Structure 1
Amino acid sequence: MALQIHTAPSDTDGRVVLGKTLPELLDEAVERYPNPSGFNQPAGEGWQTLSNGAFRDAADEVALGLLASGLERGDHVAFFMDSDLYFAMADFGTLIAGIVNVPLYTTYAPENLVYVTTHGEAKAMFVTNEEMLANFAGWADQVPDVKLVILAEGTGSGASLPEGVRLMTLDDLRAEGKRVRTATPNRPDELRDMIEPGDLATLIYTSGTTGQPKGVMLTHENISSNSYAAFTGLATLGHQEEVALTFLPMTHIYARMLSFANVAWGHSIYYSDPDQLVGHLPSVRPTMMATVPRVLEKVFDKVLLGVSEAEGLKAKIAGWAFDRAQHYDLQKEPAGLDALQHGLADKLVYSKLRERLGFTRVKALSVGGAALRQDLANAFNAFGIPTYQGYGLTETSPVITTNGPGFNKAGTVGPPIAGVEVAIAEDGEILTRGPHVMQGYYKAQDKTDEVIDDDGWFHTGDIGEFTPDGFLKITDRKKALFKLSTGKYVIPQPIENALTESPLIEQAVVVGNSQKFCTALIFPNMEALPVWARQHGVTASGEALLKDPTVQAEFERLVSEANAGMDHWSQVQRFRLVPELMTVENELLTPTMKVKRGAVNKQYEGSIDDMYKASVSSGHGGASVVA
């Protein structure tokens, strides 16, 4: 059966722009949209500001300094950095120099940092500050190919690095580059002339189903074309007048691509982080921002808590307004009496909320990384905060589809962006093809061949469908890998295997797709458990065993033990004990004894929901029995 191919709606202004290198985005913006406040870094109570022209000069100095310090075009450099101005400077500097950068997740365990640095063949390392330098020093002897370390903040005078590793400050590196530029003023232009759109720009490592990170190879054109296509659909955006507040990790391609797009449009970029976001929002008052669903969930929960604590007339008005927001349909423009009521709710409540949050000027709140609940999409748009959900993967640079002004539907991830093709395979898997699809996985042709077929279709591993009006809906994961609402991927098998190492646990299923944290359904070994119980003075029997405090305490200990060594976002926070095992007969296992995760989620939907409704206590408590 021929694939039905979906493309961007004909009535959007999304544009296909090919043949651009990433430094060209900056160069063209400096000429077309000069911005004296293009880049803004937190500095005490204020901001350190660079024009986009000064930023380009700094990036040139970084590029020339790297090449003068012994690196060559085509070499790889790792970033162990915060997501800020220094990251952006190192990013553009390496790209101008023709050097491939390899961002590292700062939350990675040391063994993963070593693996990515080694597999990514990094010869140098950028670090943000002395604390991160000290962290690197702890595993630097395991990455002997790294011979140069560049420190963005501080002097590094107390660092203990292996013999033969040279430490430079970013200021020293830039000074070296400035000397080269003074001697050879045309050198930056010569470097740009050597870059081709199809050149490898970055390696971004993403966890696969085996748990071993895979290096996604993205080219200049992969990212530049995605930057143009994703942004040109946002018809409300201008250039120097726009203010973008960014707080998502730039080790993710989502935040990184948006940053390149902001640069291309000449926007003012303000760098923040999750800890400073609440303070920065009211002072910056962005016109645009990208976020993950978890942040919106927290904002909404806090707002609802405030409503519940209000009293008298104020409580009634707020409750009425928020009830309207939760039942708002962003696809239907309020009319008649509904429009009057909405206007009143906006004047009395929503406008004050926007003021308090710092969203008085916002034109676009882009949401990615995980599924956004339909009620939240409707509510934030009701609040007068235009919120648009999109979809993509690291391997697709990343945006495949997105909602936008004039084409926004809650519960969907929008239509394809310009230049991108999307199709649904016979088994429901979402396929995509176009200039956004990666070159492949680094040094892993076999894994590349598994996901990119002979016709150029990338197989996403997600299951979905298109609505009659052309909006994509994600309905499931093809594999067990799932995402939390924080945007973190979770591979359930390692912790499930750790749990079932105990003789008291027969089966375990970790869940949490699009939720805040992981939970688990634990199926005890009802033959071994009574023996353990007698040995520990427990007299209960049968299912009553599972309710005994001593037994529940033991399962809490087993969960805590299984969590040890796992990435914190993969750890199980709450669990339920299930007395009946999964079997082929009850249709929770396949004939080959594989867990039918969709069936399990449906069978125990109520128990799973209860785990997320309950407040999380300290430790890993909250054990109870599935009725």
Structure 2
Amino acid sequence: MREYSVPVLVDVPASANLTDTVFQRAEQEPGAIVLRRKVGDDWTAVTAREFRDQVAAVAKGLIAAGVGPGDRVALMSRTRYEWTLVDYAIWSAGAVSVPIYETSSGDQVKWIVSDSGAKAIFVELGSHEETVREVLPELDGLEHVWCIESGAVDELAASGGEVADETLEERRSGPGTADLATIIYTSGTTGRPKGCRITHDNLLFTARNVANGPLELLFTVQDRAVLLFLPLAHVFARMIQIVLIETGTVLAHTPNMKNVAPDLQAFKPTFLLGVPRVFEKVYNGAEQKAVAGGKGKIFHAAADTAIAWSRAEASGGAGLGLKLKHALFDKLVYGKLREATGGNLSAAVSGGSALGDRLGHFFRGVGIEIFEGWGLTETSAPSTVNLPGANKIGTVGKPFPGVTVAIADDGEILVKGRHVFNGYWNNEEATAEVIDPDGWFHTGDIGELDADGYLKITGRKKEILVTAAGKNVAPAPMEDAIRAHPLVSQAMVVGDDRPFVAAIVTLDPEALEQWKASNGRESATLAELSADPAIVAEVQKAVDDANKAVSKAEQIKKFVILDIDITEESGHLTPTLKVKRNIVMRDFAKHIDELYG
């Protein structure tokens, strides 16, 4: 078994918990700006003391409402200032937070609230409150429903005036590293979500070792600031939130994905957190805008130059000719792309799925370096991440300090470290299935470690397809390659027990609007476009590109383009945009059978 370890960089004392930094910084740097809150069109500064005072007030309100030490409090909201405020207030009351995606259905809310035994829930919007009220009769233990948009946070803060400071401090400082901080439910791609028990140590150990280790340079630049738009209910954004609070990096939020572009220009972040789909859309949008403006050739030449320059820099440096071309396109193209993100952005962190070599090199060539990492909810988000100055594009980096990664004989990635969760809530049987007697967490992902300790993900163990001819096929790399095409929304490779590998593809509605305008097909329906020879030819190009990376036996022989998109709303994607394979296989069985007709 091949393994690679990185020594611990920062220890965390047993008495520490996640609220310490908030309360200590308020005393040490009371005027330091730690967050910015959007009020109207303006970004209002929130100082360390102001944030601490608001956290303390809401925590006192929770105590006055009867929330006790260790009680679970759910939080269902989009990414916004109050998410962070309430999260830290729950911890300051000595309680445990349970995030719920704002897109969750009534059944999903009922399961998470009932399974976690939540005593109270914060919801953001009236529609969220309606969802909770619908299932409230079946939730015997739920005593409070507080709606953020209805002013419940301010009311709760005002209601705790009788709670003494000493009582709050006793509650706040009571939990130590071994105590439960949050229960985060998995996305549920293969069944009912499981609650991951995440301790204060899991989160603090990870945050401090990442921030002082591989990503230290991102948190030491002048006027550092981050705009969060990914769901804080997901462990990835949640961990970054904690890193930002721990490092004093200015944090802001945008709850609406449609506002990301203008908010980036107004807020001017120094680095960004994203998933591959976000970076794909940035690239595709820039490409389509250039083509529509008659500058497609210039853009494609600039993109090829950025990629070539990045590859050359990774292998000894670009030659004079390439440097001159790169400098020219920096003025014509790259500078405008950077300006679209606010002008200060030079780095980003990507996770969730594979970014792909081409995008990684493109953005580095443009001047925005993306550091890809990897992890799961069970590992408190990251287990590996690439490093500034040692970014090996195409990998998910090396273990961060205090983590050991190993590759089992069957290719499964195993992990050890203090960032590994302490088991599934109310499900010891499932816990025993993933943590072996030697303490290794079995991730379910398949991968490879190179000689320098960099990890490459090659598939998901449960998603490996075995064709009728006995060929093992990892679908994820091919799916990622197909999804990189601007017209493609989703792709799912099939072929289990079938004679050959095939794929289901859906089209991106936003990209189609631009395509229709550029091709004189404004009135065409999605059903018509899914069978349009020009569209089919474009998808065939994406499939051909994906096939280049695999053996002949693994190549996609046929595909079908659906006349609908598969989305979270349709029930086919998780909130983190992972495909629910079993649901897609069930709902589109007829289409799959026709591929093999």
Match of 2:170 in 1: 190
Match of 2:106 in 1: 110
Distance, in Å, in 2 between the alignment partners of 1:470 and 1:39 is: 36
Tell me whether 1:348 sits opposite 2:332 in the alignment. yes
Aligned residue runs from structure 1 range 90-129, under 5 A: 90-129=86-125
Distance, in Å, in 1 between the alignment partners of 2:245 and 2:227 is: 13
Q: 1:279 aligns with which of 242, 252, 262?
A: 262
Aligned residue runs from structure 1 range 260-339, under 5 A: 260-273=242-255, 274-311=257-294, 315-327=296-308, 328-329=310-311, 331-332=314-315, 333-339=317-323
- 1:367-405 per-residue CA deviation (whole Å, 9 max, x = no partner) reads 011111110011001100011100000000011000120
Letter in 1 for 2:320: G
Distance change >3 Å, CA 108–CA 518, structure 1 → 2:
farther
Structure 1 residue 41: Cα displacement: 2.8
Distance, in Å, in 1 between the alignment partners of 2:101 and 2:435 is: 26
Distance change >3 Å, CA 513–CA 178, structure 1 → 2:
farther
Structure 1 residue 469: Cα displacement: 2.4
Decide whether the 8 Å contact of 1:14 with 1:230 is kept in 2.
no
Q: 2:211 aligns with which of 208, 219, 231?
A: 231
Letter in 2 for 1:127: V
Distance change >3 Å, CA 71–CA 6, structure 1 → 2:
same
Match of 1:6 in 2: 4
Match of 2:502 in 1: none
Decide whether the 8 Å contact of 2:265 with 2:340 is kept in 1.
yes
Distance change >3 Å, CA 343–CA 101, structure 1 → 2:
same
Distance, in Å, in 2 between the alignment partners of 1:296 and 1:47 is: 25
Distance, in Å, in 2 between the alignment partners of 1:33 and 1:321 is: 45
Tell me whether 1:54 sits opposite 2:36 in the alignment. no
Distance change >3 Å, CA 310–CA 298, structure 1 → 2:
same
Distance change >3 Å, CA 31–CA 384, structure 1 → 2:
farther
Letter in 1 for 2:5: T
Distance, in Å, in 2 between the alignment partners of 1:240 and 1:481 is: 46
Decide whether the 8 Å contact of 1:29 with 1:265 is kept in 2.
no
Distance change >3 Å, CA 294–CA 16, structure 1 → 2:
farther
Match of 2:422 in 1: 439
Structure 1 residue 32: Cα displacement: 5.0
Distance change >3 Å, CA 322–CA 453, structure 1 → 2:
same
TM-score under structure 1 length normalisation: 0.74
Letter in 2 for 1:149: V
Structure 1 residue 626: Cα displacement: 6.6
Aligned residue runs from structure 1 range 507-586, under 5 A: 513-514=479-480, 515=483, 516-519=489-492, 521=494
Aligned residue runs from structure 1 range 31-110, under 5 A: 31=27, 34=30, 36-110=32-106
Tell me whether 1:404 sits opposite 2:387 in the alignment. yes
**Deviation larger for 421-430 or 145-154:** 145-154
Match of 1:242 in 2: 224
Distance change >3 Å, CA 122–CA 238, structure 1 → 2:
same
Q: 1:362 aligns with which of 345, 357, 382?
A: 345
**Deviation larger for 321-330 or 457-466:** 321-330
Structure 1 residue 481: Cα displacement: 8.8
Distance change >3 Å, CA 81–CA 602, structure 1 → 2:
farther
Tell me whether 1:429 sits opposite 2:412 in the alignment. yes
SS at match of 1:178: coil
Distance change >3 Å, CA 111–CA 510, structure 1 → 2:
farther
Structure 1 residue 125: Cα displacement: 0.8
Letter in 1 for 2:95: I
Aligned residues: 506
- 1:67-111 per-residue CA deviation (whole Å, 9 max, x = no partner) reads 111121111111122221111111111111111111112222211
Larger of the two Rg values belongs to structure:
1
Decide whether the 8 Å contact of 1:518 with 1:574 is kept in 2.
no
Decide whether the 8 Å contact of 2:399 with 2:405 is kept in 1.
yes
Match of 2:23 in 1: 27
SS at match of 1:251: coil
Letter in 1 for 2:43: W
Structure 1 residue 129: Cα displacement: 2.6
Match of 1:222 in 2: 202
Tell me whether 1:137 sits opposite 2:133 in the alignment. yes
Match of 1:417 in 2: 400
Tell me whether 1:259 sits opposite 2:241 in the alignment. yes
Distance change >3 Å, CA 118–CA 615, structure 1 → 2:
closer
Structure 1 residue 113: Cα displacement: 1.2
Distance, in Å, in 2 between the alignment partners of 1:62 and 1:123 is: 16
Distance, in Å, in 1 between the alignment partners of 2:389 and 2:9 is: 13
Structure 1 residue 574: Cα displacement: 8.2
Distance change >3 Å, CA 186–CA 524, structure 1 → 2:
closer
SS at match of 1:71: coil
Structure 1 residue 271: Cα displacement: 0.3
- 1:415-473 per-residue CA deviation (whole Å, 9 max, x = no partner) reads 11011111111111101101100010001111101111112110100010112222100
Distance, in Å, in 2 between the alignment partners of 1:28 and 1:288 is: 26
Letter in 2 for 1:56: R
Match of 2:546 in 1: none
SS at match of 1:222: helix
**Deviation larger for 385-394 or 25-34:** 25-34
Decide whether the 8 Å contact of 1:103 with 1:204 is kept in 2.
yes
Decide whether the 8 Å contact of 1:21 with 1:197 is kept in 2.
yes
Match of 1:567 in 2: none
**Deviation larger for 516-525 or 436-445:** 516-525
Letter in 2 for 1:281: L
Distance, in Å, in 1 between the alignment partners of 2:150 and 2:166 is: 31
Unmatched segments (≥5 aa) in structure 2 = 466-473, 484-488, 499-528, 532-548, 571-587
Structure 1 residue 53: Cα displacement: 1.7
Match of 2:578 in 1: none
Structure 1 residue 322: Cα displacement: 1.4
Distance, in Å, in 2 between the alignment partners of 1:172 and 1:481 is: 51
Letter in 2 for 1:225: F
Distance change >3 Å, CA 404–CA 439, structure 1 → 2:
same
Match of 2:511 in 1: none
Distance, in Å, in 2 between the alignment partners of 1:99 and 1:354 is: 42
Match of 2:181 in 1: 201
Letter in 1 for 2:166: N
CA RMSD of aligned residues (A): 3.3
SS at match of 2:393: coil
Distance, in Å, in 1 between the alignment partners of 2:222 and 2:161 is: 28
Distance change >3 Å, CA 15–CA 336, structure 1 → 2:
farther
- 1:151-174 per-residue CA deviation (whole Å, 9 max, x = no partner) reads 22225xxxxxxxxxxxxx211210
Distance, in Å, in 1 between the alignment partners of 2:440 and 2:429 is: 16
Decide whether the 8 Å contact of 1:519 with 1:574 is kept in 2.
no
Q: Percent of counterpart pairs with the same letter? A: 33
Distance, in Å, in 1 between the alignment partners of 2:34 and 2:389 is: 29
Match of 1:391 in 2: 374
- 1:246-305 per-residue CA deviation (whole Å, 9 max, x = no partner) reads 001011111001001101111111101312111101111100110000011111111121
